[in-house]
Structure 1
C-alpha cells in the first residue's frame, strides 16, 4: 500500500494566495487605479525576468519541446473551452454564495488563469509529486502571494476563491 503524500507545496501556495488576497481586499480602498496599475506592471516585469532567467538555463535541445508545449497547451485549452468553463463555474459559485460582487467571476477566472496555467504550476507540481522537491512551488507561492494582493485589490473576493481550483488543478 502506497503512503499518501500531501501536496505541501500546493497548500503553502494556497496559504500565500489567501494571505495576499486578504491584504489586497484590506487595501482595496487605499490603492488608486494608478497604484494598482503599478503593482501589475511590477509583478509582470518580475515574472518576465524570472521566466527569461529560467529559459536561459534550458538546454537548446529542449527549446523545441518548450515551444511546442506552449502551442499545444494553448490550443488544447482553447479547444476544450477552459476559459468559458471556468467563467461558467465562477458564475455558478457566485450565485450559490450570493455575494453580490459583480467582479467575483472575473477575479476568480483571472486568478485561476494566472495561478494555475503556467509552467511553474505544471513543472512544480510534477517535481513535488515525483521527487518531493517543492522548490519551484515555493517560488510560485511567493509570486502568487504578491500577485494576489494586486488582483484582490482590483478584482475583489473572487481572487480568494481561486484557491479551490488551485487545489484541484495543482494539488491533483
Structure 2
C-alpha cells in the first residue's frame, strides 16, 4: 500500500500548489490554464484510446456503458458525492472580481480528476506490480504525472481535485490488495482494451475543459466494466462458435 499512499500524497501536494497558483491569477489566466489543461488531457486521452485492439469492443463498451450510466444517472450520483465532500472545505465568505474561488466547481473537479487518475493501464498494472512483486516503480511514475496534472486541474477547477485522492486510494488500494486473485484474468489484451476505453473517457474530460461540449463523463464509466466482460467472454464465445 506504500505506493498508493505516495500517489495520493502527490495528488494532494499538486493540488495545494495549484490552489496557491490559482489564488494569484485573474479570471483571464484561469481560462488560459483550463484551456491548456483541456488540450493536454485530450492528447493523453487520444494516446490511450488508440491502444485498443478490437474496435468492436471499444464501440460497444462505450455506447452500452453510456446508456447504462445515463439510465442510473451515475454522473449525478458522483457529483452529489462531490457536493457532500465540499462541506468539509471551509467556504470563502467573499471574493473580489479578479480572484478565483477555491471551491468553484468542486464536485466537477472531484469527478473529472477521479476519472483521470483512476482509469488507464498504469493504475491497474502498477497496482498489480506493487501488490504481487513489491515493485513500486510504475505507481511512483504515475504519482509524478498525477501530481503535475493535479496542479493544472486545481488551478483550473479548484480544490475538489485534491479529494480525488480518496477515489485513488479506494480504487488502487483495492487493486493492490486483490492483485493476486485478479491478476490471472488481466491479460495484455485486457490492459489494451481497458486503456482504450479509459482513453475515450479522458478525451471527454478534455472536451469538457476546452468547452466544446458539456459531456456527462461519469455516465460512461460502465464502459470499463463492459470492456472487461467482452474480453473475458471473447475466447469462450470463439471456442463455442468454432472460430
Which TM bucket (shorter chain)?
0.7 to 0.9
The structural deviation recorded for 1:26 is: 0.7
Which of 1 and 2 has higher RCO (CA within 8 Å, sep 6+)? Answer: 1
Residue equivalent to 1:58: none
Partner residue in 2 for 1:156: 158
Q: How does 1:19-168 map to 2 (within 5 A)?
A: 19-28=13-22, 29-30=24-25, 32=29, 33-42=31-40, 44-45=42-43, 48-49=46-47, 51=48, 55=51, 63-64=53-54, 67=57, 71=61, 75=65, 78=69, 82-95=74-87, 97=89, 99=91, 101-168=103-170
The offset of 1:52, in angstroms, is 8.1
Is the Cα–Cα contact under 8 Å of residues 103 and 156 in structure 1 kept in the other structure?
yes
Unaligned runs of 5+ in 1: 1-6, 56-61
**1:16 pairs with 2:10:** yes
| CA shift for structure 1 position 120 | 1.8
Unaligned residue ranges in structure 2 (runs of 5+): 93-102, 175-243
Matched residues, number: 158
RMSD: 3.3
The structure number with the bigger radius of gyration is 2
8 Å contact kept, 1:9–1:137: yes
Q: Is the 8 A contact 1:125 1:137 kept in 2?
A: yes
Normalising by structure 2, we get a TM-score of 0.54
Superposition TM-score, scaled by structure 1 size: 0.73
Q: 1:35 to 1:106 in 2, by over 3 A?
A: closer
User: What is the rounded CA distance, in whole Å, between the counterparts of 2:108 and 2:42 in structure 1?
Assistant: 19
